[in-house]
Chains A and B, each alone.
Chain A
């Protein structure tokens, strides 16, 4: 069995030699054209004149497209049909594409794109949360509110109350491979599109609409992405559509890739939030009622903002059983790039809100932060489960066991004492510990997306061709799914050929998102392999004259008692006996029922859990800091591949810690993004990882019958990074008696401001 083995990423030998091909590496036929967008330099205004004559005259320019030149739908939106490929009459953010240049080279296209003379009559732009609140600029007409219990009464009756607010910055994905697409016009009006996308079916759908052709005329292929993190769930639509439209017009292959600065300016990022809280609690630290207000800066179009804001609400209680809870969620439309999916999809922001509350209450009561959290956990008794604030029974709660396991392994009690001693002895450098649990719901909250398909062929030599609807962005999905196929068919992994995601092989797929890749596609592949195995079993039972139940597949052979033959031989015989050796597989997640309007139901099939403890040191002179040590314990169920899962946990933690520390997005007063390159936007570098970094997987299995009882692992560990933020808060607390009320990202500047507050 190849499942459970810590195998390297299937493409690792290609990665390290530079042979792994990304969209921009695909050899193109002669005559390939290159595209670039001309961008708005105003955040909001009316286009009064678009003089593109200099663009047309520029060297190597073949074509310049305005909205009127588009053959079909001028829309790239993932959801609401509110996002034109090229601005029509009005612009809504700085960096919005206005026209499209088609040229003989990438550089020529980029140069020409800067020559457009676009006259824009500026209008007052809504840029900030405060601007949007003042203007009443909401999606969905106003805030969405969910209430569970009587919050006002609970807070009023509580022995203690406090309130506060936290600003939570957004986050740039900074996938190392920027967005890219390549369209190859075929005969018969069809189009083949290579796209760096998490969602090939959506690319297919949007390209078909843009060309005004049925979906069957468009085939989208995605071999791999150089990172996605949610940033390639919807944001690749523009490039793919632009390439397809230009290819259809010129009859030539067309390629587009964003320069890094363009990528950062044009595409959406993680939503920034402001969260207000009012909380009532008792002497022990038990929360009795919490009232949250989420202000979500969504940008200019809907994109995925509404489900992102929903997921923030769904994770607003994290792992805690809070008797009364109310969440008012304002989805604010602003004239900035449309915020989009990013690993965790709103969950991290919602979770940081309640972790902030816990930190604040622990500070007020002088209680141990880990103890306070445990006190508020969901029920330890699976027979008497508590319910979340949206009414889902928590039946698989693992944190009562995981927390002590982590704290003991990390030497928490002794280190708490050591930190206190250090802080008493050191006037300038302060240490802090931060602890947080994670309970993350697994499933798309738009229930119909929880489906997947697969296509598996066995060739007559016994080799297996594997295809499924999921996309590979570095997470090792293909390897995990290949391990599933090899295990089910009882063959070695080398017999299974992983192939590019292809809308012509598996149709109507969901985005590889919501951590669902291996859960959904693993099950679909298993279903296909089970079908094939069933056919071979019946055939061989007949062939050997044994009962089907005696036929088994193992070690590259098929067995029935003392009879056995190589899998390849079985495949050949089955072929000659005219048995179909190709099968599709399909899976839909069971048990889901979710009423989004009411905020009630079971949106999640199960939960994934994690626990983190981080220690930091802070320089109180300037607010600079370092992560000294991190201990993580994460629940990946019965892991399909522990090496890949640990890789996800380590990487997600560092990305989560980066979000809350050095990764600061700055816009100027005119709505221009000032941090649009790695020179100014600082993701963690090598030395920013913790000096000591202990990552362990929890030995458990999924209570639900997921693929070999594993759990989804892409997003949940990102929120383990919250512990780094809490550790900073802890270190700052050592500077005085006031609560630090730290905002995120906790840049050295914000840390110093909090230190000064605490010292005041």
Chain B
């Protein structure tokens, strides 16, 4: 395919490139830009972080999960593009030197890039922004000292990622109608939105995808609207955008999303992708199911709406026909009772062992309704229907909670794997329900809130 993009201020036009080649490989192997490092090739270490700019803004992403086919009309800034025209260090680079923020130096280009993006936005939530940048040498403390020191310096005048990005020259679908038609023509093509999952097929399974359709140019799929009916979200709304959208209506959901992968991955990954791949451990389906989200599917001109939970049939199988794609979803407007808990070995950037979402309405001390859904407990994201039944109509007391906890055994038979044992998963699911109740009683249960 043909693409045009801006690379460190220089327009690059490529004709007939392999669309599924990663930006990382292309930078290193074709351009000799070896500052961008391969640490894991799966988006978990951040050593390949680059800044991507388009109409949606400037964001750090992992070059190992960015395909050339996604870059058309965008701007890319690598570590080589941070410094000034005369080699002046960017303030974050200068601070990393002065505050001893590098030791072996291999993660450092990615950290410098992520911090330059943070600095550009004037953001100071460094733990969040750097959750996707692993460093094995420093223990992070000097990196944060550097970030804090650099915050005082203005953005250098040379540093304007995205300025002067060319018009795209590629042929990816630009509208949903075009997309629908294209998918009907090529029903077995792989749809690529954020490439945070498909990227692993390419990099780790070494699959060759000859037939792909990029969703990155379909602006309609990135739209979102809130009205009296609820929140309507296009399939290609990123997790990071979703996090912002939910901060008002469902803040606990939004807070959990701060632990969804890393800033780099959230900037790429889409809500539609997180649903479409059918993973039992995707973090958005359980809370979306608990909120009663409806899913819009389209095949050519035909559209249908289903409850999100009905999309997941069994492990590896979803209710989606050849030629069909997810157009979007709606979260119905409702009072916010949602509590979402993520359990993993590490708080940040870890795949959930268990993710529990509880939408429990209590009136006059009685449970009026309960929609409870889990990830990591079955082959699909799944409702805890026996637990819901055990609660509905009961007084919202410790005793009812204890009785309902026993019902988890009827809902779930989780598996042992490298993330957790089946027994622990059940214990955690039960504990999460207890946590909902304890929080209602005003008991402190969030270890992340404890101050030193």
* Chain A contact residues, CB within 8 Å of chain B: 8-9, 11-22, 24-25, 27, 107, 110-111, 114, 173-178, 224-229, 259-261, 426-429, 431, 473-476, 615, 617-619, 621-622, 624-626, 628-629, 643-644, 646-647, 650-655, 662, 664, 666, 674-675, 677-680, 682-693, 695, 747-749, 752-753
Contacts and interface: CB of A to CB of B under 8 A. Distances in A.
Contact of A176 (B33, B37, B98, B350): B37
Interface stretch (B137-145, B160-168, B282-290, B381-389): B137-145
A646 B100 CA distance: 10
B134 A683 contact: yes
A629 B452 contact: yes
Contacts of A624: 343, 347, 447
A20 B447 contact: no
B206 A111 contact: yes
Contacts of B35: 17-19
A643 B100 contact: yes
Contacts of A647: 100, 103, 137-138, 142
B450 A617 contact: yes
Contacts, number: 271
B32 interface: yes
B298 interface: no
Interface in B92-144: 92-94, 96-98, 100-109, 112, 126-128, 130-131, 133-144
Contact of A21 (B34, B112, B348, B438): B34
Nearest to A615: B452
A261 B435 CA distance: 37
B42 interface: yes
Interface string B429-452: 001101100100001111110111
Q: Is the interface of B mostly helix, strand, loop or mixed?
A: loop
Contacts of A629: 452
A643 B103 CA distance: 11
A17 B204 CA distance: 29
Interface of B: 25, 28, 32-42, 44-45, 47, 78-80, 82-83, 89, 92-94, 96-98, 100-109, 112, 126-128, 130-131, 133-144, 204, 206, 343-351, 353, 417-421, 424, 427-428, 431-432, 434-435, 438, 443-448, 450-452
Nearest to B82: A17
A686 B143 CA distance: 9
A474 B103 contact: yes
Contacts of A429: 444-447, 450
A269 to B, nearest CB: 14
Contacts of B345: 662, 664, 682, 747-748
Nearest to B107: A176
Nearest to B417: A674
Contacts of A173: 136
5 contacts: A16-B79, A18-B36, A176-B45, A619-B447, A654-B139
B34 A225 contact: no
A114 B104 contact: no
Contacts of A224: 104-105
B351 A679 contact: yes
Q: Which of B92, B136, B144, B448 has the most CB of A within 10 A?
A: B136
Contacts of A621: 431-432, 434-435, 438, 445
Q: Which of A473, A647, A666 has the most CB of B within 10 A?
A: A647
B136 A174 contact: yes
A648 to B, nearest CB: 8
In the A-B complex, list the 7 residue pairs whose CB atoms are closest, starting with the nearest: A18-B35, A474-B104, A226-B106, A15-B105, A654-B139, A474-B103, A18-B79
Contacts of A692: 452
A689 B346 contact: no
A676 B197 CA distance: 17
Given A20-B105, A686-B144, A25 B343 contact: no
Given A621-B431, A677-B42, A177 B34 contact: no
B418 A18 contact: no
Nearest to B45: A678
Given A18-B78, A615-B452, A682-B346, A426 B131 contact: no
Contacts of A693: 139, 141
Contact of A110 (B96, B108, B206): B206
A8 B44 contact: no
A654 B399 CA distance: 42
Given A260-B40, A749-B424, A8 B450 contact: no
Contact of A680 (B103, B106, B133, B419): B419
A624 to B, nearest CB: 6
A686 B140 contact: yes
Contacts of B41: 259-260
Given A15-B105, A107-B206, A429-B444, A27 B139 contact: no
Contacts of B40: 260, 677-678
A411 to B, nearest CB: 11
A349 to B, nearest CB: 20
Contacts of B96: 12, 15-16
B321 to A, nearest CB: 30
A618 B424 CA distance: 16
A187 to B, nearest CB: 27
Contact of A177 (B25, B104, B206): B104
A17 to B, nearest CB: 6
A675 B34 contact: no
A625 B447 contact: yes
Q: Which of B127, B141, B144, B419 has the most CB of A within 10 A?
A: B141
Contacts of A107: 25, 206
A705 B102 CA distance: 30
Q: Which of A174, A426, A651 has the most CB of B within 10 A?
A: A651
Contacts of A617: 447, 450
B235 to A, nearest CB: 24
B405 to A, nearest CB: 12
A474 B105 contact: yes
A615 B94 CA distance: 33
Contacts of B136: 173-176, 227, 229, 651, 655, 683
B177 to A, nearest CB: 36
Contacts of A9: 100, 102-103, 105
Nearest to A472: B104
A220 B17 CA distance: 38
A752 B424 contact: yes
Nearest to A114: B206
Nearest to A113: B206
A227 B137 contact: yes
A650 B139 contact: yes
